[in-house]
Amino acid sequence: MQAAVITHYHQAEPLMTSMPIPDVQPTDVLVKIMAASINPIDTKTMAGGLKLLLHYPMPLVLGSDFADEIVAVGNQVTQFKIGDAVYGRPRKQRIGTFAEYLAVNVADIALKPTNLSYQAAAAIPLVGLTSYQALHDLMQLRPGQKVLIQGGSGGIGTIAIQLAKSLGAQVATTTSLKNAALVNSLGADQIIDYHTENFATALSDYDAVFDTRGGTTLEQAFQIVKPGGHIVSISGLPNGRFAKAAGLPLWKQSLFKLAAHRLTRLERQTHVTYHFLFMHPSGSELAILTKLIEQNKGRPIIDRVFDFKELNQALAYSKTGHARGKIIIKIGATN
Ligand SMILES: NC(=O)c1ccc[n+]([C@@H]2O[C@H](COP(=O)([O-])OP(=O)(O)OC[C@H]3O[C@@H](n4cnc5c(N)ncnc54)[C@H](OP(=O)(O)O)[C@@H]3O)[C@@H](O)[C@H]2O)c1
């Protein structure tokens, strides 16, 4: 099969390489990948930016989510069968969706929404699960609560806005003026053009902030959240609490505790809880998203579709940081 491979960190571009089709473990299915999506984690992984959290053996096939058809099942698999259309985010040590085939644990997949094409479905797993884990699992958003979603027009933002609305929340979001109509169509109640307005002075008394930016944007979020509220960041610094819960070695726990000391001080001063989220694969949570999508409570927003052979152009486009929704890689699917 053809796969997009890096052989070392800091490699400029993955190389299309011929590889054997992966072996299927007893609790795996083998899938023929129809479409995959680009996520910023692809280029961050290539650059070695996540080495403290995830260190991969090389060579590494890139790609973190997919939609596909099952072509073989392991001998302990009962919940899926050959021919099922599924989608998923493989566990972190078994990524590799920029390839024609993937062996994936059944706990990491769910049936594809029947109302989505393979290309549209491939837009969902990583960003959908991340948003669900932030808004539902960590913030436990309730109807009427107010949440700010940073970067409403991105891969995360476009799904997170819809999910927050389906949980009954009032949603403010930051984006550029050119994307205001898009985020409005997804249900955003208040739109802040981050080029001309500072959210920290425009908003107050929020129950939660979903931070996709990190840095000073994350620190400013403490100004708008009520005591008892939550900030969940997927781009800020991991803190000691995260490192402990993730079972990282003591030296990494100390390192993250030290690095995030300003956030810990802000937590103490404001009585707001800071969570760093490193999303985890979950077929059962993905099945919940399948239901929401089939009930028309959410839809993927697709910016551009690239052919598999154009993967490097797709990665370069993602690196601009201004995609509008998701970037899709067409691998086996015609739609
Ligand atoms: N920790 C985790 O588990 C996890 C999971 C998923 C993603 N992430 C991280 O989350 C971040 C967002 O991911 P993504 O998939 O949404 O990325 P993305 O699709 O590349 O985000 C692009 C969007 O960001 C917007 N944007 C750029 N600068 C902005 C700013 N200063 N304020 C508000 N919006 C801004 C752009 O809008 P304009 O064109 O209008 O500027 C664009 O629509 C990435 O850093 C990614 O690595 C982490």
β-bridge mates for residue 230, sequence order: 208, 273
Using the mean position of ligand 1's atoms as its centre, give its distance from the Cα of residue 23 in Å. 35
CATH 3.90.180.10 in the chain: give the residue spans. Answer: 2-124+301-330
Hunting for tokens 């985010």 — which residue is that?
89
Note the pLDDT of residue 312: 98
Dist. CA 74–CA 202, nearest whole Å: 54
Contacts of 213 (CB under 8 A, 6+ apart): 150, 151, 235
User: Where does ligand 1 bind, in terms of residues with CB under 6 Å?
Assistant: 39-41, 44, 126-127, 130, 150-151, 153-157, 174-176, 179, 194, 212-213, 234-235, 277-279, 318, 321-324
Residue 156 alpha carbon, nearest atom of ligand 1: 16
Using the mean position of ligand 1's atoms as its centre, give its distance from the Cα of residue 234 in Å. 10
> In this structure, what token pair is assigned to residue 24?
């299927």
Q: Which CATH superfamily is domain 126-276 in?
A: NAD(P)-binding Rossmann-like Domain (3.40.50.720)
Can you list the pairs that 245-253 forms with residues at least 24 positions away whose Cβ atoms lie under 8 Å?
Answer: 246/278, 252/52
Note the pLDDT of residue 335: 58
Instruction: Give how far Cα 170 sits from Cα of 30, 241, 272, Å.
Output: 41, 29, 19
Work out whether strand 170-175 and strand 190-193 pair parallel, antiparallel, or are unpaired: parallel
Phi, psi of 131 (to 5 degrees): -65, -40
Using the mean position of ligand 1's atoms as its centre, give its distance from the Cα of residue 194 in Å. 13
Note the pLDDT of residue 333: 61
Note the pLDDT of residue 134: 98
- For every one of its 335 residues, what pLDDT tens digit does the chain have, with 9 covering 90 and above? 999 999 999 999 999 999 999 999 999 999 999 999 999 999 999 999 888 888 899 999 999 999 999 999 999 999 999 999 999 999 989 999 999 999 999 999 999 999 999 999 999 999 999 999 999 999 999 999 999 999 999 999 999 999 999 999 999 999 999 999 999 999 999 999 999 999 999 999 999 999 999 999 999 999 999 999 999 999 999 999 999 999 999 999 999 999 999 999 999 999 999 999 999 999 999 999 999 999 999 999 999 999 999 999 999 999 999 999 999 999 986 65
Positive/negative CA dihedral, 296, 132, 30, 50: positive
Instruction: Give how far Cα 184 sits from Cα of 195, 284, 323, Å.
Output: 17, 30, 17
Residue 233 alpha carbon, nearest atom of ligand 1: 1
Atom 39 of ligand 1: nearest residue by CA position: 322
Hunting for tokens 């994350």 — which residue is that?
218
CATH 3.40.50.720 in the chain: give the residue spans. Answer: 126-276
Dist. CA 11–CA 6, nearest whole Å: 7
Q: How many CA atoms lie within 13 A of 166 on its CB side?
A: 21
Q: Give the domain 2-124+301-330 fold.
A: Quinone Oxidoreductase; Chain A, domain 1 (3.90.180)
CA–centroid distance for 271 within its chain? 28
